[in-house]
Structure 1
Amino acid sequence: MKFSRTTLALAALLIAPPALIAPAAAQSLQEALAMAYANNPNLQAARAQLRAVDENVPQALSGWRPTVQVAGSVGTAQGRSTNTSTSNRTSLDRNPATLQATVSQPLYRGGRTTASVRRAENQVLAQRARLLATEQQILSDTVNAYVAVIRDQEEVRLNINNEQVLTRQLQATNERFRVGEITRTDVAQAESRLAGTRAARADAEGRLQQSRASFARLVGQPPQRLVAPQPLRVPLATAAEAGTLAGLNNPNVVAALFDEAAARDLIDVNFSSLLPQVSLNGSTFRNDNSSAPDNRVTGSQVTANLTVPLYQGGAEYAQVRQARQTAQQARQLVDDQRRQATQQATSAWETLTAARAQVESVRAQIRAAEIALDGVQREAIVGSRTTLDVLNAEQELLNARVSLVRALANVITASHSLAASVGRLTARDLSLPVQIYDMEAYYNAVRNRWAGFGDYAAQGR
């Protein structure tokens, strides 16, 4: 089971298995990430959710705007008037009709509108941060799927090569058994090792198909000829620095901060129900035949209205107390999210450091295993080593090469995980070849819109 040093270098540096991939256009990690950014359904759903939250702002701003109503009625009424002394009857049949137009302009609502607008703005900012978190999660999953396909392809290649070597070795062992150089035990050992390799190859092929399916789900098409990526270089010097930056910049932390601000604004929204309300109302009306036939009454009025709530059952006080407790809950969630982000960044840093160290150690292990295998094979020729010794040495070298493939994959995924933990795994940070989604376009299109049923989703794409 001999491998050239050139083959090993390719496996160590590139991971990619060119022998097993049909000729096709090369697909880089940047291209796969760009396709996932543009087409992934979960990311598209998160963008639609942000646009829905954007609508909270014009809803809150409506508290500054007037309301206009027109009311009318038409009907028929029948009646008779009888003079009891003369028995004369008078018909009172009529067709009453009314029409009234009312305009109401809020002047002061206890601060409800101002607080509602602040709350809606904070909700939008929190949802933008959540969209970034979703974007990072999709891109991170795509990186993992991309690297998993390359890793599993290389493991399949190594197992197929090992199976071919063991097949030839079993043939040689059978020849030596027929001439009496070795025993039946040596043949059985070679057969057992070959069967185990075939099982390992089948398992590797199954995992490769699973990785390809995950890639297709995230990106939207099956993987082509993947180009081995390089680890990200995150400008961080220590695990403590990574944890500090994550506590400030992680999208989940940012979302929690704006959630807390929105929860504090809800206190003011609920408290406004305990304060005076001032509005200006204007109306005009026309009443036809309201009390007698052929009678019309018209008029208009303008009034300033003041409402001072004194006691409304106590529910408003409970809502204020409830909002304060919700704000305390949101404040604790900020601390929890910050701790989680710090832990994730520290874990990603240590994983990356360990993976890099593992790569160097496994490379040294492979060099030693190659020398050991060559020596065992030479000693087996002169009879000082058994077939089992050769099989064990070959298996040890194979295991080391598989470990190297996995360690190199871990370096790449850990570097991207570290970038995600500090909020730096976005399409903008990665300079993906794709049009960046404009989070403010839909918001600007609907913020000051007074009316309309149009779908302005294209403004946010």
Structure 2
Amino acid sequence: MMPTRSAFTLAALLMAPAALVASHRPASAQSLQEALALAYSNNPTLQAARAQLRAVDENVPQALAGWRPTVQIASSVGQATTSTNAADRVTSPWRARNVVSNQASVTQPIYRGGRTVAATRRAENQVLAQRARLLATEQQILSDTVNAYVAVIRDQEEVRLNINNEQVLTRQLQATNERFRVGEITRTDVAQAESRLAGTRASRADAEGRLQQSRATFTRLVGQAPQRLVAPQPLRVPVATAAEAGTLAGQNNPNVVAALFDEAAARDLVDVNFASLLPQVSVTGSTFRNDNSTTSLDTRVNGTQVTANLTVPLYQGGAEYAQVRQARQTAQQARQQVNDQRRAATQQATLAWETLTAARAQVESVRAQIRAAEIALDGVQREAIVGSRTTLDVLNAEQELLNARVSLVRALANVITASHSLASSLGRLTARDLNLPVQIYDMEAYYNEVRNRWVGFGDYADRGR
């Protein structure tokens, strides 16, 4: 009979849902919080998403540049050769002179048809949308890490169960051979025991293969191989029904939030393109110095000027009208994408809720099944001793108990992953929500550093870390 101690490490999963903190864990163990903290700090996909946000932050100073003056210096140096014809047709000799021209100008935009205001709004909405996408990426990485962490524990337990079953069947085969030698059973009973043992060895090899795959996935996400993992607890989610979960997900899911800001940015693009149809006003101040710009030698002309410039577009080929129409259609597309993302988030939350509910119910049912299977196996083994049960009956009872225990391991793992999936669909699976022991990435630090910068090539990527 298989020992009932497959008091699986995952049994801790059904303790009262709380934060992801394991108490009284071995000093050498690795908790889920520690694994999540490593993934949050080191995962390259998340690091790339942060860099992408910093790149989008630069859209704002680019848009604000529309308010700022343009300063230019233009210089030219050369040589000119001239000759003149007098009225009596006597040609003067050719004369060479050095020509030098220098000019500095400053142009200050006053009104650009509203382009700068609209472009700034669009850039800021793009930044907010990208922040939401970064949160979505963060949640995805943390969710994948949870799944990988639980998968390693689950597969380890399945390997232990299969090894234990293999040991039991090995001893049972030995006992069967002894009984065959004394004539209590037939060769068929021995063959059945050998067949079941071979099948268990195949199952154990398969479980070991899945464990190595889970360990490889964990290593890719976290950046180091799994150590001695501690069974986590399911998350407590702030909803009580599937309908409530769907409603909250439709409002708070990062993909929905990103789509909302994308729609706002698409509407701002309409105003950006429409600005090309409106007048533009600017003021230009310039100073210049020209040497030998005329045929006279050794002459210098200095001067300054200030001009107010008005440009009124009348017709520019019609492309600007097409751009406005195109932007309006893009805005309609973005509006529909908001609806699609909201429906997808609602569906994801509802599925996660139902999966969590089903997994919890399955755990209770499988536990009852295990208790009954243990009693049945004990009875079958006793009856087999007195000859009222066959070897096959014992093998079947053992296999049924093994299957039930494997089902419990998987159901317990599903409780964990489903609770985290539900939290993710609600937008609550972030490092801040999980209270991870890490320095939270500051999404505003780089933005605040570059927003009002007029010049500079510095790398401010370390801001917020």
Q: Which residue of 2 aligns with 1:310?
A: 314
How is 1:336-351 mapped onto 2 (pairs within 5 angstroms)? 336-351=340-355
Residues 1:69 and 2:69 are matched in the alignment:
no
Q: Which residue of 2 aligns with 1:419?
A: 423
Residues 1:325 and 2:329 are matched in the alignment:
yes
Q: Which residue of 2 aligns with 1:13?
A: 12
Distance 1:388 1:275, change over 3 A: same
Distance 1:106 1:199, change over 3 A: same
How far is 1:137 from its partner? 0.1
Match of 2:369 among 365, 382, 407: 365
Q: Which residue of 2 aligns with 1:295?
A: 299
Distance 1:210 1:62 in 2: 51
Could you say what the CA RMSD is over the residues aligned between the two structures, in angstroms? 1.3
How far is 1:14 from its partner? 6.1
Residues 1:205 and 2:235 are matched in the alignment:
no
**Which amino acid in structure 1 is aligned with residue 340 of structure 2?**
D
Distance 2:91 2:184 in 1: 142
Q: How many residues align?
A: 453
Residues 1:2 and 2:6 are matched in the alignment:
no
**Which amino acid in structure 2 is aligned with residue 32 of structure 1?**
A
Distance 1:254 1:12 in 2: 37
Match of 1:128 among 131, 140, 148: 131
Q: Which residue of 1 aligns with 2:20?
A: none
Distance 2:255 2:110 in 1: 38
Q: Which residue of 2 aligns with 1:397?
A: 401
How is 1:79-90 mapped onto 2 (pairs within 5 angstroms)? 79-83=82-86, 85=88, 87=90, 89-90=92-93
Distance 1:333 1:225, change over 3 A: same
**Which amino acid in structure 2 is aligned with residue 13 of structure 1?**
A
Residues 1:280 and 2:280 are matched in the alignment:
no
Q: Which residue of 2 aligns with 1:263?
A: 266
Q: Which residue of 2 aligns with 1:428?
A: 432
Match of 1:451 among 445, 455, 458: 455
Unpaired runs of 5+ residues, structure 2, are: 15-25
How far is 1:7 from its partner? 3.7
Whether the 8 Å contact between 1:80 and 1:93 is mirrored in structure 2 is no
Residues 1:105 and 2:104 are matched in the alignment:
no
Q: Which residue of 1 aligns with 2:254?
A: 251
How far is 1:9 from its partner? 6.2
**Which amino acid in structure 2 is aligned with residue 76 of structure 1?**
Q
Q: Which residue of 2 aligns with 1:384?
A: 388
Whether the 8 Å contact between 1:32 and 1:142 is mirrored in structure 2 is yes
**Which amino acid in structure 2 is aligned with residue 430 of structure 1?**
L
SS state of the match for residue 294, structure 2?
coil
**Which amino acid in structure 1 is aligned with residue 385 of structure 2?**
I
The TM-score with structure 1 as length reference comes to 0.96
Whether the 8 Å contact between 2:9 and 2:231 is mirrored in structure 1 is no
Q: Which residue of 1 aligns with 2:444?
A: 440
Distance 1:252 1:451, change over 3 A: same
Whether the 8 Å contact between 1:280 and 1:304 is mirrored in structure 2 is yes
Residues 1:220 and 2:223 are matched in the alignment:
yes
Distance 1:341 1:14 in 2: 26
Distance 1:298 1:246 in 2: 69
Deviates more, 1:285-294 or 1:87-96: 87-96
How is 1:159-198 mapped onto 2 (pairs within 5 angstroms)? 159-198=162-201
Distance 1:24 1:162, change over 3 A: farther
Distance 1:272 1:14, change over 3 A: closer
Q: Which residue of 2 aligns with 1:50?
A: 53
**Which amino acid in structure 2 is aligned with residue 159 of structure 1?**
N
SS state of the match for residue 130, structure 1?
helix
Distance 1:62 1:14 in 2: 55
Distance 2:39 2:8 in 1: 31
Distance 1:77 1:247 in 2: 74
SS state of the match for residue 228, structure 1?
coil
**Which amino acid in structure 2 is aligned with residue 45 of structure 1?**
A
Whether the 8 Å contact between 1:24 and 1:224 is mirrored in structure 2 is no
The TM-score with structure 2 as length reference comes to 0.96
Whether the 8 Å contact between 1:81 and 1:92 is mirrored in structure 2 is no
Residues 1:92 and 2:91 are matched in the alignment:
no
Whether the 8 Å contact between 2:237 and 2:419 is mirrored in structure 1 is yes
SS state of the match for residue 89, structure 1?
coil
Distance 1:58 1:12 in 2: 54
Distance 1:308 1:154 in 2: 76
Distance 1:331 1:87 in 2: 80
Whether the 8 Å contact between 1:115 and 1:269 is mirrored in structure 2 is yes
How far is 1:92 from its partner? 2.5
CA deviations over 1:209-231 (Å, ceiling 9, x no partner): 00000000000000000000000
How is 1:129-168 mapped onto 2 (pairs within 5 angstroms)? 129-168=132-171
Unpaired runs of 5+ residues, structure 1, are: 16-22
**Which amino acid in structure 1 is aligned with residue 368 of structure 2?**
A
Distance 1:210 1:56 in 2: 42
Deviates more, 1:211-220 or 1:74-83: 74-83
Whether the 8 Å contact between 1:36 and 1:219 is mirrored in structure 2 is yes
